[in-house]
Amino acid sequence: MKNTPPGRCPLVLSVLVATPVGAWSSQFVAREAIELLLIVFLIIAALLLLFSRRTTFVTFTQTWPLYLIGGGVGVISGMIGVGGGALMMPALILLGYDAKKAARAISFVIPFSSAGAFLTYLSFTTMNWPLLAVVALAAILGGYLGERIMNNQLKAAQLKKLIAVILLLLANKMIWNFV
């Protein structure tokens, strides 16, 4: 069902379990390998969002893909220390979920992913608290503005293209930093 929002519970549960595992295991995996994996994923996801005309093959009653997405996103986002929305959004859209409804579900799930990774990282690293305060304030403001723009001015197809462009820009920045 294209307009049915993804189930939040499977995503939250799998992210809560997988993110700390990814954050903890990041100590033992070469950062370059994780970054290359993320770059490849971002480019493929962006291209699929731009050019794929795939039909829906997941319905609201099938939760196993949501557990897989949440678990995979949790491990990867925990390893690289990001919330995971850039990973989860293309996956849900490619499974056929409406972009706006997927964005709403992700906005509920990502705080759990971020909190799990944050608490795990605190156990083996030091925190720059002033930087955290500035970034948190910027994230709150950006989230508010993004939600207003998404709900009032963008259609689902426009949001899908915007996400693809943002993913390509992120991949480009990572490639630039990598070289």
Distances (CA, A) of 39 to 9, 42, 51, 108: 28, 5, 18, 25
Q: Let me know if residue 1 belongs to a domain.
A: no
Q: Which residues of 110-132 are buried (b: 16+ CB within 10 A; e: fewer)?
A: bebbbebbbebbeeeeeeeeeee
What value does the mean pLDDT of the chain take?
80
Q: Is 50 buried (19+), middle (13-18) or exposed (0-12) by CB count in 10 A?
A: middle
For the chain, helix (H) and strand (E) counts, in that order, are: 7, 0
How many domains does the chain contain in total?
A: 1
Q: Give the SS3 label for residue 127.
A: coil
The per-residue pLDDT for range 31-59, each reduced to its tens digit, is 788 788 778 878 887 887 788 665 554 44
| Structural domain range at position 150 | 8-178
The helix or strand, by DSSP H or E, that contains position 152, with its residue range, turns out to be helix 129-153
Q: Let me know if residue 3 belongs to a domain.
A: no
Q: What is the pLDDT of residue 138?
A: 93
Contacts of 88 (CB under 8 A, 6+ apart): 11, 69, 70, 73, 102, 106, 109, 110
pTM assigned to the model: 0.65
Q: Let me know if residue 88 belongs to a domain.
A: yes
Interatomic CA distance for residues 79 and 22, integer angstroms: 5
Q: Let me know if residue 2 belongs to a domain.
A: no
Q: Let me know if residue 150 belongs to a domain.
A: yes
Q: What is the pLDDT of residue 95?
A: 75
Q: Which tokens go with 160?
A: 């899908």
Q: What angle do CA 49, 52, 57 make, to 5 degrees?
A: 100
Q: What is the pLDDT of residue 3?
A: 44
Q: What is the pLDDT of residue 4?
A: 47
The per-residue pLDDT for range 13-26, each reduced to its tens digit, is 888 888 888 888 88
Q: Let me know if residue 165 belongs to a domain.
A: yes
The per-residue pLDDT for range 99-154, each reduced to its tens digit, is 777 878 887 887 877 777 778 778 887 889 999 899 889 988 988 888 788 777 77
- Higher-pLDDT residue of 132 and 8 is 132
